Amino acid sequence: MEWTDEGIVLGVRRHGESSAIVELLTRGHGRHLGLVRGGAGSRMRPLLQPGNSVRAVWRARLDEHLGYYVIEATRMRAATLLGSSHAVYGITHLAALARLLPERDPHQDIYEMLLNTLDDFDDVGAAAVHLIRFEMAMLTELGFGLDLSTCAATGVYHDLIYVSPKSGGAVSRVAGEPWREKLLPLPPFLRENDSGAAGFSEQDLQDGFALTGRFLMRNVLEPRGQAHSDARAGFINAVVRLMAAMTP
């Protein structure tokens, strides 16, 4: 068995004296592990950092075997990203999210989204928005997508500013007014049908993380006996701190 694909490094663990087991999210073969001979050595270690893009050749005698990777770098992001606290936490959390996907099951839209998210990590606010949208996409990919296109109560398409914590459906300003204290805020950058909703504040980011965090916990993590990664809280705290420092 042999295939060649592009991938993003999610994690590495040492195996034996000098080898490493490398976990990639690949475009066409999903989340996939393989053994890299010499992967723990000084030559390969910079290449195998989480967040880097690579070209990988995987070989094994049988499809169900762990197999071996031959890997070459195509985009070395890690050296730059690992110098920022929010990026360190963000990459760790993104990898934890990707591990919710079944192994060896292709998810090309998620792959593309992860690629775009990593390429925007130098901008703190944009990185936060991308990560919230990535969490939203993971909910959809795992079968728990939120319907933010129309009001769950009236069917209208505009002025959707709330989300029902029970159904995950959007709620309009008028329909939600009597229950606004019980509804979740829908930040502008997640509103599908409102023009001019691209801007965001620190509170919008907090609202976005509260929204995706609630549904990830209830629908995905708790049923698996898991919780949010510590890196998620670290990322949010780092973003809030950095944005506060940039505020005049």
What is the domain-level CATH number for residue 46?
Answer: 2.40.50.140
Question: Do 93 and 210 belong together in one domain?
Answer: yes
Question: Do 36 and 128 belong together in one domain?
Answer: no
What are the contacts of 174-177 at 24+ separation with CB within 8 A? Answer: 175/151
Q: What's the confidence (pLDDT) of residue 196?
A: 44
Question: Do 57 and 91 belong together in one domain?
Answer: no
| Residue range of the domain that includes 146 | 83-246
Last residue of a domain, one of 42, 76, 110: 76
Mean pLDDT across 181-201 = 79
pLDDT at 162 over 80: yes
Question: Do 46 and 111 belong together in one domain?
Answer: no
Least confident of 60-74, 107-121, 197-211: 197-211
Question: Do 38 and 111 belong together in one domain?
Answer: no
Pick the closest to residue 8 from 69, 52, 58, 39 (CA basis).
52
Q: What's the confidence (pLDDT) of residue 243?
A: 84
Question: Do 215 and 103 belong together in one domain?
Answer: yes
Question: Do 13 and 119 belong together in one domain?
Answer: no
Question: Do 100 and 202 belong together in one domain?
Answer: yes
Question: Do 178 and 94 belong together in one domain?
Answer: yes
Question: Do 69 and 123 belong together in one domain?
Answer: no
Last residue of a domain, one of 76, 105, 135: 76
- Domain count of the fold of the chain: 2
**CA–CA separation, 53 vs 6, rounded Å?**
7
The pLDDT tens digits of the residues spanning 225-242 come to: 999 999 999 999 999 998
pLDDT at 145 over 90: yes
Question: Do 49 and 123 belong together in one domain?
Answer: no
Give the CATH number, domain containing residue 132: 1.20.1440
**CA–CA separation, 141 vs 44, rounded Å?**
33
The token pair at 7 is: 């991938």
Last residue of a domain, one of 76, 99, 132: 76
Task: Calculate the average pLDDT of the chain.
Answer: 93
Question: Do 128 and 210 belong together in one domain?
Answer: yes
pLDDT at 20 over 70: yes
Three-state secondary structure of the chain: CEEEEEEEEEEEEEECCCEEEEEEEECCCEEEEEEECCCCCCCCCCCCCCCCEEEEEEECCCCCCCCEEEEEEEECCHHHHCCCHHHHHHHHHHHHHHCCCCECCCCHHHHHHHHHHHHCCCCHHHHHHHHHHHHHHHHHHCCCCCEEEEECCCCCCCCEEEECCCCCEEEEHHHHHHHCCCCEECCHHHCCCCCCCCCCCHHHHHHHHHHHHHHHHHHHHHHHCCCCCHHHHHHHHHHHHHHHHHCC
Q: What is the layout of strands, in order, in the sheet containing 169-172?
A: 147-151, 169-172, 160-163, 184-185
